[in-house]
């Protein structure tokens, strides 16, 4: 049988090789290798000729052969919580875009909330696949994990938005800026003249929720303000609504920082139903800047999360550690803090006017939530 014969007996053209690219571009095969490995000391003109020749020939790198030669598979594994919540989903999208830009393949393993061994199993699965590095985008503290199942990886590991969760040859972190953003949100409300700020917290098993609560509390303490009890929600608008019914009963509440936008939107609905106007009576700040935040009534003041910036910086540092195992890790930088001011915040009401408020029933007929979570 003729080598390369396909259907109908016709012979398929052999796949172009790097030597063919070198011949067409008028350079050495080593130069072609340098261009595709993104090595320095290749002029822009030579790089252009090589890439144009490769495109003309339809040349693709043989990653399998390259892996055998280099000991690397050119793949990065990502461990992420299987959730549709805006924050984790947006961060995963940012990671996927950033990985594509690095030229590495992406392998994703989803974990399930409530499984303490989920991350350990995901790390083992990715290491079995021979990934060159791992990104852990796991936002929950799964207490109760087996202490003997300490996570260990012999490849660089990047942890996003959480403390280090494993031991590795190189441990990197990025995106742990919830505390700074919470300080900015709380400070904005204090700067408007509010005596204190209440907090609608996220579930405290989540590292992000803890960071936002800690930043809120630290800001009030630094300004010498009363720190009221936090109310804990579950990230949903429904939990924000329930918390809003409780907070609406307290006429001293003039400002609330919610740990995400969905809860802030539910909170505003409850306040409005209770006759507490936003922002005339109560100012509200959210967190995330979800797409709908600019279109609710009133448009929501919120902290915009820098998902793409965090992913890009983190992946840059991870790839550097993969490709330069003997070099020191690249230094990290603080993520940007971006307060988006809309019309859900304003100075506090004139305290000579009695606070307005009335009790209303929930559309679902649910009872109001229990007592606030103590500090």
Which residues, other chains included, contact 279 with Cβ-Cβ below 8 Å and sequence gap of 6+? 298, 343, 344, 345, 346
State the pairing for strand pair 301-304/338-340: antiparallel
In b/e form, how buried is each residue of 113-129, taking b as 16+ CB within 10 angstroms?
Answer: eeeeebbbebbbebeee
Residue with tokens 């009030």: 220
Q: Token pair of 297, please?
A: 């009534």
With beta carbons less than 8 A apart as the criterion, state whether 93 and 307 touch.
yes
Place of tokens 């992420």: 80
Residue 283: strand, helix, or coil: strand
Helix (H/G/I), strand (E/B), else coil: 106: strand
pLDDT at 296: 97
**Cα–Cα distance between 44 and 39 in angstroms, integer?**
12
Provide Rg for the chain, Cα atoms. 27
Q: Are 252 and 259 in contact (CB under 8 A)?
A: no
In three-state secondary structure terms, 285 is: strand
Token pair of 95 as six digits? 């990671």
Rounded Cα gap, residues 159 and 136, in angstroms: 5
Q: Would you give per-residue pLDDT tens digits along the chain (375 residues)?
A: 333 333 344 344 566 777 888 899 998 877 887 787 767 678 889 889 988 998 888 876 654 445 445 556 789 999 988 788 898 899 999 999 998 888 899 999 988 776 666 787 888 888 888 899 999 887 788 664 444 445 677 889 999 987 776 667 788 988 878 899 999 999 999 999 999 999 999 999 999 999 999 999 999 999 999 999 999 999 999 999 999 999 999 999 999 999 999 999 999 999 999 999 999 999 999 999 999 999 999 999 999 999 999 999 999 999 999 999 889 999 988 888 999 999 999 999 985 444 433 333 333 334 444 444 444
pLDDT of 361 reads 33
CA–CA gap between residue 234 and residue 240 (Å, rounded)? 8
Helices and strands in the chain: count of H runs, count of E runs: 11, 13
Give the Cβ contact number of residue 206 at 10 Å.
25
C-alpha to C-alpha distance for 344 and 303, rounded to whole angstroms: 13
Taking the C-alpha atoms of residue 143 and residue 140, their distance in angstroms, rounded to an integer, is: 9
> In this structure, are residues 285 and 302 in contact, taking their beta carbons and an 8 Å threshold?
yes
Q: What local confidence, expressed as pLDDT, does residue 18 receive?
A: 78
The CA angle 96-125-61, to the nearest 5 degrees, is 50
Structure tokens at 154: 């012999």
């Amino acid at each position: 049988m003729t080598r390369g014969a396909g259907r109908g007996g016709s012979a398929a053209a052999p796949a172009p090789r790097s030597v063919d690219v070198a011949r067409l571009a008028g350079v050495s095969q080593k130069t072609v290798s340098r261009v595709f490995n993104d090595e320095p000391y290749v002029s822009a003109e030579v790089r252009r000729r090589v890439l144009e020749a490769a495109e003309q020939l339809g040349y693709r790198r043989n990653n399998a052969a390259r892996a055998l030669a280099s000991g690397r598979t050119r793949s990065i594994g990502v461990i992420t919580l299987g959730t549709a919540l805006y924050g984790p989903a947006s961060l995963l999208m940012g990671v996927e875009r950033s990985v594509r830009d690095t030229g590495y393949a992406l392998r994703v393993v989803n974990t399930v909330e409530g499984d303490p061994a989920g991350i350990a199993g995901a790390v083992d699965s990715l290491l079995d696949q021979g990934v060159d590095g791992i990104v852990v985008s796991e936002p929950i503290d799964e207490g109760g994990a087996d202490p003997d199942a300490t996570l260990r990886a012999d490849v660089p590991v990047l942890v996003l938005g959480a403390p280090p969760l494993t031991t590795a040859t190189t441990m990197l972190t990025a995106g742990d800026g919830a505390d700074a953003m919470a300080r900015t949100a709380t400070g904005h409300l204090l700067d408007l003249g509010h005596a204190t700020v209440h907090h609608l917290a996220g579930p405290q098993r989540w590292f992000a929720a803890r960071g936002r609560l800690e930043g809120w509390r630290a800001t009030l303490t630094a300004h010498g303000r009363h720190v009221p009890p936090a109310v804990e929600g579950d990230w949903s608008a429904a939990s924000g609504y329930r918390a809003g019914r409780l907070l609406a009963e307290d006429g001293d509440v003039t400002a609330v920082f919610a740990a995400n936008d969905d809860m802030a939107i539910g909170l505003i609905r409850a306040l409005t139903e209770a006759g507490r106007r936003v922002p005339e009576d109560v100012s509200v700040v959210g967190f995330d800047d979800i797409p709908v935040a600019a279109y609710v009534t009133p448009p929501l003041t919120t902290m915009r999360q820098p998902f793409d910036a965090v992913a890009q910086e983190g992946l840059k540092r991870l790839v550097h550690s993969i490709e330069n195992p003997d070099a020191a890790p690249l230094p990290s930088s603080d993520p940007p803090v971006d307060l988006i001011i809309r019309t859900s915040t304003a100075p506090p009401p004139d305290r000579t006017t009695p606070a307005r408020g009335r009790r209303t029933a929930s559309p679902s007929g649910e009872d109001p939530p229990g007592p606030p979570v103590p500090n």
